[in-house]
Amino acid sequence: MTDSLGQRHWMTAPATVAVLDALEAAGGADCARFVGGCVRNALVGRSIDDLDIATTLTPDQVTKALKAAGIRAVPTGIDHGTVTAVSQHIPHEITTLRRDVSTDGRRATVAFTDDWCEDALRRDFTLNSLYARRDGSIFDPTGHGVADAKAGRIVFVGEAEQRLLEDHLRNLRYFRFYAWFGQGAPDATAVAACAKLKDRIDGLAAERISKELLKLLAADDPRAAARLMAEAGVLEVVLKLPANLARFEALVEVEADQLFECDPVLRLAALLPDDQVAAMALATRLRLSNPDRDRIVAALAPTPTLKSWMSPREIRREVYRSGLAVFRDRAKLAWAASPRSATTMQWRGMIALAEGWTRPELPLTGQDIMNAGVPKGPLVGQVMREVEDWWIDNDFLDDKLSVIEKLKAVAQGMVY
């Protein structure tokens, strides 16, 4: 019996039907099939994020077929056979069947083919080497893709080492797919190959490494995958720092228990040692975005130390000083690093209080300070900071007259 997905809504959507009709008008029935992630995800009951289509048509033929049907064709990866069809504002990535001619582990030279099996043999894992016709019937060239997908087995197509030598990023992809789809014990052959060839990762572009790492950390529960990476020596190659697996695993547990959103950037911070200089160096080396870099460095600030028993007044002070986002990140990391005891309500309450508090503005302006007799210049800022410190220590006193009285006293002491 042929495995089938049945007729899924994304297969029969008007935009998708228009693309398939255009391709088949040029190449005949069954010249185009769904491939990869959409087939895999549908098979295991996951949501469909992208629609990828494989075809026997060449990129030129694809482009002509789409234009003839009035569908916009974008040459997003023409050298590797990829054209994106934008049908009713929905992108469909269409790639010509390929075989590798040569590869150095970072980029490949490909030749086009009309052989579906040949195309499948150059893909990474069996669960990604699945094709589905428009009627939903599945074509499984390796003979193992459907079973592996359903069982949560992440297995390389053919020889694991050969697949890794063709593309060094597949080393990280192995652990990413294990985090997202893996069940049970990992494939020993695959892990051994990843461990053997782990140093090849260093030759990859930093952006490719960081993108794959953050995708891995975005899985619902990436703890087993991270441990496996560490055991294989791959995590050390990526981070070049000792990994704080205990805090990372505790953070994932806290997120799950408290229904917090999965947060790959904070999870990366949790994996790192409490060293802002080292964190900055890692973020720079991996070319993380400036916001992600700054967030990780701020989350790993050594002071002030956050404790679950902080008073509301202390919490408000720290939120004012660091900002809500930084405070929340630091609180979650401190929570993850704390002993697993009956303090959950305290940590949760602490974050809830911070989130429910509206940060006030100091009721004082530079003009107020100069009106108090402080000459324009650096002294204005110095007086402002001293009054602000007093105001914070008084729990953000909502009384401008008292603030002005304090200003007068500070100004008098500085000016005279």
Q: Is the pLDDT of residue 237 over 70?
A: yes
Distances (CA, A) of 342 to 114, 119, 250, 258: 62, 55, 15, 14
pTM for the whole structure: 0.91
Radius of gyration of the chain (CA): 28
Beta bridge partners of 98: 112
* DSSP, res 201: G
Confidence of residue 359 (pLDDT cuts 50, 70, 90): very high
Q: Look at 28-32, 304-308, 341-345 and tell me which has the smallest mean pLDDT.
A: 341-345
Tell me the pLDDT tens digit for each residue of 56-80.
999 999 999 999 999 999 998 887 8
Overall average pLDDT of the 271-297 stretch: 97
Predicted local confidence at residue 396, as pLDDT: 96
Predicted local confidence at residue 105, as pLDDT: 65
Q: In the numeric block, which tokens belong to residue 289?
A: 């975005």
Overall average pLDDT of the 170-180 stretch: 98
Asked whether 235 and 229 are in contact (CB, 8 A), the reply is: yes
Q: Is the pLDDT of residue 106 over 80?
A: no
**Burial 1-34, CB ≥16 within 10 A → b, else e:** eebebeebeebeeebbebbbebbbebbeeebbbb
CA dihedral in degrees (146, 50, 216, 222; nearest 10)? -60
Interatomic CA distance for residues 256 and 262, integer angstroms: 8
Number of H helices, E strands in the chain: 22, 9
Overall average pLDDT of the 348-354 stretch: 95
Q: Which CATH number fits domain 1-151: 2.60.40.420, 3.30.460.10, 3.40.50.300, 3.30.70.2610?
A: 3.30.460.10
Provide the residue count of the chain.
416
Pinpoint the residues of the chain covered by CATH 3.30.460.10.
Answer: 1-151
Confidence of residue 342 (pLDDT cuts 50, 70, 90): low
The better pLDDT of the pair 342, 12 is held by 12
Q: Which residues contact 119 (CB under 8 A, 6 or more apart)?
A: 54, 97, 98, 99, 113
Asked whether 169 and 105 are in contact (CB, 8 A), the reply is: no
Going by C-alpha positions, the residue among 259, 258, 289 that lies closest to residue 268 is 289
Asked whether 322 and 289 are in contact (CB, 8 A), the reply is: no
Confidence of residue 110 (pLDDT cuts 50, 70, 90): confident
Overall average pLDDT of the 22-51 stretch: 94
* Backbone region of residue 323 per phi and psi (left: phi > 0; alpha: psi in -120 to 50; beta: other values): left
* DSSP, res 376: S
Predicted local confidence at residue 415, as pLDDT: 57
Tell me the pLDDT tens digit for each residue of 381-400.
999 999 999 999 999 999 99
Q: Look at 10-14, 56-60, 103-107, 134-138 and tell me which has the smallest mean pLDDT.
A: 103-107
Confidence of residue 351 (pLDDT cuts 50, 70, 90): very high
Asked whether 238 and 209 are in contact (CB, 8 A), the reply is: yes
For the beta carbon of residue 253, count every other beta carbon within 10 angstroms: 14
Percent of residues, the chain, with pLDDT higher than 90 = 89
Predicted local confidence at residue 259, as pLDDT: 85
Predicted local confidence at residue 341, as pLDDT: 64
